[in-house]
Amino acid sequence: MDEQRRLRNALGEFATGIVVVTANGPNDAPVGMTMSSFNAVSLDPPLVLFSIGKQANSLPAFAAAESYVINVLAGQQEDLSNRFARPLTDKWAGLDFERGLGGAPRLKGALAHFECTRHELVEGGDHLIFLAKVEHFSVAPGNADPLIFLRGRYRRIRNDWQMDADWPLSVHY
C-alpha cells in the first residue's frame, strides 16, 4: 500500500459530517459537490472553511463564485451525498431546491444551511481552501440525525442522548 493510501486510511479514522456545498455557476447554472472537508474557523467574524481538490471539474466555478450555501446533510440523505459526489453527471436533474444567497442552491431537507460569501482562497497543496464568511444560517426544526462518514462508509448515529446542564461544553470549536 502506498503512503498516500495509508495516510488517507488514517485520516478516515476521523468521523466527519457530510455537506453539499453549492454555488451559482456560469450562466446561472447551479454547481454542487459533496464534501467532508467542512469546519468552523471563527465565531467573530463568523468564518467556516471547505476545500476542493485542484483536479475537480467544478473548481473553476466555485473559485469564481462570490457566495456559497453549505448544506449539512441528514442521515436519510445518502442519495444526495452520492448524487453530488459523482463527477460529470447532471446532479440537478429532477432535484427540487430553492435559491439562497447569490443564487446558490439551498437543498431541501438539510439539517442546516450556511449561506456564505467568499472571504479568502488559500493554496493548500493539492487543494484550494475556501474561507467563507457566514452571512445567514438556519437549522431545520426537529431533531433529525446527521449523515456521518467514517472509515470510507456512511454511518448514522442514534439521537437518543439527552442534553444536560453542562451543554454546551466549554471546549474550543
Look at residue 107 and tell me whether its pLDDT is greater than 90: yes
172 pLDDT band, cuts 50/70/90, is low
Q: What tens digit of pLDDT does each residue of 112-147 get?
A: 999 999 999 999 999 999 999 999 999 998 878 899
Confidence of residue 13 (pLDDT cuts 50, 70, 90): confident
Q: Name the residue ranges covered by the structural domains of the chain.
A: 3-156
18 neighbors 81 (Cβ within 8 angstroms): yes
Residue 105 has pLDDT above 60, yes or no: yes
Nearest to 132 by CA among 145, 144, 116: 116
Using one digit for the tens of pLDDT, what is the confidence trace for 74-91? Answer: 999 999 999 999 887 789
* pLDDT score of 80: 95
Q: Which residue type is seen at 102?
A: G
Rounded to an integer, what is the distance from CA 144 to the centroid of its chain? 17
For the whole model, what pTM was predicted?
A: 0.87
Q: Are 29 and 90 in contact (CB under 8 A)?
A: no
Average pLDDT, the chain: 89
Instruction: List the grid coordinates of 69.
Output: 450555501
Question: Could you tell me what percent of the chain has a pLDDT over 90?
Answer: 68
Given a cut of 80, whether residue 96 has pLDDT beyond it is yes
pLDDT band, very low/low/confident/very high, at 158 (cuts 50, 70, 90): low
What is the rounded CA–CA span in Å between residue 117 and residue 58? 18
Residue 164 has pLDDT above 80, yes or no: no
Domain made up of 3-156: CATH architecture: Roll (2.30)
* 138 phi/psi in degrees, rounded to 5: -145, 150
